[in-house]
Amino acid sequence: QTALLQFDGHAYALPLNVLASMWRGDFTTFWRTPPEFKMKILPGNTGAVVDWLAAQLSKIDKTAAPAGKQVFDATMQSRVYAFQMAQGLKPDSVVGATTFMLINRAVGVEEPRLQTSQTTARRHDVLHP
């Protein structure tokens, strides 16, 4: 029945009905982009972002990190497709923002995130005994 909002290290408890009257459901997400990220990765793309993608997929697949410059080819597209399916995304082998965010989560990149009510309740107990 209560939302816990945190800003600048301070926690604020807010009844959900009050939050609902002020918030229409819009939100912005913050995430760490790969090096030289500008847009979706498409077949045939190369560069630092594709090299980064290949390295992250290797971490996820627990395979040896690739050496040299990478190309977003059919093999890498297949790996992305499998990752997207495993994450519950619509698999299209195109690497856009949502796929990048889930890759970050899979490899442990520290990013801001929403917490479940169970986690929030525990933090609320710690912050407000």
pLDDT at 90 over 90: yes
**Residue 106: CB atoms within 10 Å:** 15
Whether 48 contacts 36, CB under 8 Å: yes
Rg of the chain's alpha carbons, rounded to an integer? 19
Q: Whose CA is closest to 94, among 38, 15, 39?
A: 39
d(C-alpha 54, C-alpha 88), whole Å: 20
Mean pLDDT, rounded, of the chain:
85
Looking at residue 124, its pLDDT comes to: 46
User: Cβ-count burial of 9 within 10 angstroms (0-12 exposed, 13-18 middle, 19+ buried)?
Assistant: exposed
Which own/partner pairs from 114-123 qualify as long-range (CB within 8 Å, at least 24 positions apart)?
A: 120/3, 120/4, 123/4, 123/11
d(C-alpha 63, C-alpha 41), whole Å: 21
Q: Whose CA is closest to 104, among 42, 32, 30?
A: 32
Global pTM? 0.68
pLDDT tens digits along 15-61: 989 888 888 878 777 778 888 888 899 999 999 999 999 999 999 99
